[in-house]
A and B are shown apart, each in its own frame.
Chain A
Amino acid sequence: MAVPALVLAVFYAWPFGALLARVVDADSVVDVVRDPDTREVVWYSTWQAALSTALTLAVAIGPAVVLGRYRFRGRTLLLGLLTATFVLPTVVMAAAVDALAPDGVGGTAAVVVAHVLFNIAVVVRIVGASVAASADGPDHAAATLGAGPWRRFVDVTLPSVRGAVAAAGAIVFVFCFTSFGVVRVLGDGRATVEVEIWRRATVAGDVDAAAVLAVVQLVVVGLVLALTARRGATGVPADAGRGARRVQRAGERRAVVAAASFVAVATLVPIAAMVARSLRGSDGWSTTAWRTLGRQEVRPGISLGVDPWDALLTSLRTAAWATAFAVAVGGLAIAAITVARRLGRALDAVLLLPLATSAVTVGLGMLIAFDEPPADWRASWWLLPVGQAMVAIPFVVRAAADVARRSDPDRLAAAAVLGASPLRAWATVALPVLWRPLLAGTGLAAAVALGEFGATSVLSRTGTVTAPVAIERLLARPGALAQSQGYALATLLAALTVAIVVLVEWIGRARRT
Chain B
Amino acid sequence: MLAARDVTVSFDGGVVLDRVGVEVADGEIVALLGPSGSGKSTLLRVIAGIVVPDAGRVLVDGVDVTGLPTHRRRIGMVFQDEQLFGHRDVARNVAYGLEVAKVPRSERAHRVAELLDLVGLPGFERRAVQDLSGGEAKRVALARALAPEPRAILLDEPLTGLDRDLHDRLAGEVAQILRRTGTPALWVTHDLAEAEAVADRIEHLR
Binding site for B on A (CB under 8 A): 137-138, 140-149, 151-152, 155-156, 159, 248-249, 251
User: With contacts A144-B145, A145-B145 known, is A248 near B51, CB below 8 A?
Assistant: yes
Closest 4 CB pairs of A and B: A143-B70, A145-B97, A141-B83, A137-B83
Given contacts A146-B74, A148-B71, A249-B69, contact A140 B96 (CB under 8 A): no
Distance in angstroms from A245 CB to nearest chain B CB is 10
How far is A10 from B127 in the complex, measured between Cα atoms in Å? 58
Interface status of B159 (Cβ within 8 A of chain A) = no
Tell me if B158 counts as interface (CB < 8 A to partner A).
no
Task: Let me know if A248 and B96 touch, CB within 8 A.
Answer: no
Interchain nearest-CB distance for A145 vs B (Å): 4
Q: Are A147 and B79 in contact (CB under 8 A)?
A: no
Contacts of A156 in B (CB 8 A): 85
The interface residues of chain B lying within 8 Å CB-to-CB of A138 are 83, 85-86
Contact A144 B96 (CB under 8 A): no
Q: A142-B96, A144-B50, A146-B71 are in contact. List 19 more A-B contacts (CB 8 A).
A: A137-B83, A138-B85, A140-B48, A142-B85, A142-B100, A143-B48, A144-B145, A144-B154, A145-B100, A145-B147, A147-B71, A147-B96, A147-B100, A148-B100, A151-B71, A151-B100, A159-B85, A248-B51, A251-B69
CB distance from B99 to the nearest CB of A (A): 9
- B76 within 8 Å of A by Cβ? yes
Known: A140-B48, A151-B100. A145 touches B83 (CB 8 A): no
Does B77 count as interface, using CB distance less than 8 angstroms?
Answer: yes
Pull 21 A–B residue pairs with CB atoms less than 8 Å apart, ordered by A: A137-B79, A138-B83, A138-B86, A140-B45, A140-B48, A140-B83, A141-B85, A142-B96, A144-B71, A145-B100, A146-B71, A146-B100, A146-B148, A147-B71, A147-B96, A149-B69, A149-B71, A155-B96, A159-B87, A248-B51, A251-B69
Quick one: given A147-B71, A151-B100, are A140 and B85 in contact (CB under 8 Å)?
no
The yes or no answer to B138 lying at the interface (CB within 8 A) is no
Q: Is B101 an interface residue (CB 8 A)?
A: yes
Q: Which of A142, A144, A152 has the most CB of B within 10 A?
A: A144
Residues of chain A lying within 8 A (CB to CB) of residue B73? 144
Closest beta carbon of chain A to B204's beta carbon, Å? 25
**Pair A144/B85 contact, Cβ less than 8 Å:** no
Q: Hey, which chain B residues are within 8 Å of A141, CB to CB?
A: 77, 79, 83-85
The CB with the most chain A CB atoms within 10 A, among B76, B77, B85, B147, is that of B85
Q: Is residue B157 contacting chain A, with contact meaning CB distance below 8 A?
A: no
A251 to B49, CA, bound (A): 13
Interface string of B119-150 (1 = CB under 8 A from A): 00000000000000000000000001101101
Are B52 and A143 interface neighbours, CB within 8 A?
Answer: no
Cα-based distance from A148 to B70 in the complex (angstroms): 8
Q: Report the bound CA distance from A141 to B50 in whole Å.
A: 10
B76 contacts A145, CB within 8 Å? Answer: yes
B81, B145, B150: the one within 8 Å of A137 (CB): B81
Query: Looking at the complex, which one of A145, A159, A251 makes contact with B96 (CB distance below 8 Å)?
Result: A145
Residues of A within 8 A of B71 (CB): 142-149, 151-152
Bound Cα distance from A146 to B150, whole angstroms: 9
Which residues of chain B are near A251, meaning CB under 8 Å?
69
The interface bits of chain B over 90-111 (1 if a CB of A lies within 8 angstroms of the residue's CB, else 0) are 0000001100110000000000
Task: Tell me, in angstroms, the Cα distance from A159 to B97 when the chains sit together.
Answer: 18
Closest-CB distance, A381 to chain B (whole angstroms): 58
Which residues of the other chain, A, contact B52 by a CB distance below 8 angstroms? Answer: 248-249
Query: A248 to chain B: which residues have CB within 8 Å?
Result: 51-52
CB distance from B71 to the nearest CB of A (A): 5
- Select the residue from A140, A141, A155 with max chain B CB neighbours within 10 A: A141
Report A256 CB to chain B, min CB distance, Å: 15
> A141 to B86, alpha carbons, bound, how many Å?
12
The CA of A140 and the CA of B81, in the complex, are separated in Å by 12
CA distance in complex: A270, B69 (Å): 38
Q: How far is the CA of A152 from the CA of B96 in the complex (A)?
A: 11
Which chain B residue lies CB-closest to A247? B52
- Which residues of chain B are within 8 angstroms of A147 by Cβ–Cβ distance? 71, 96, 100
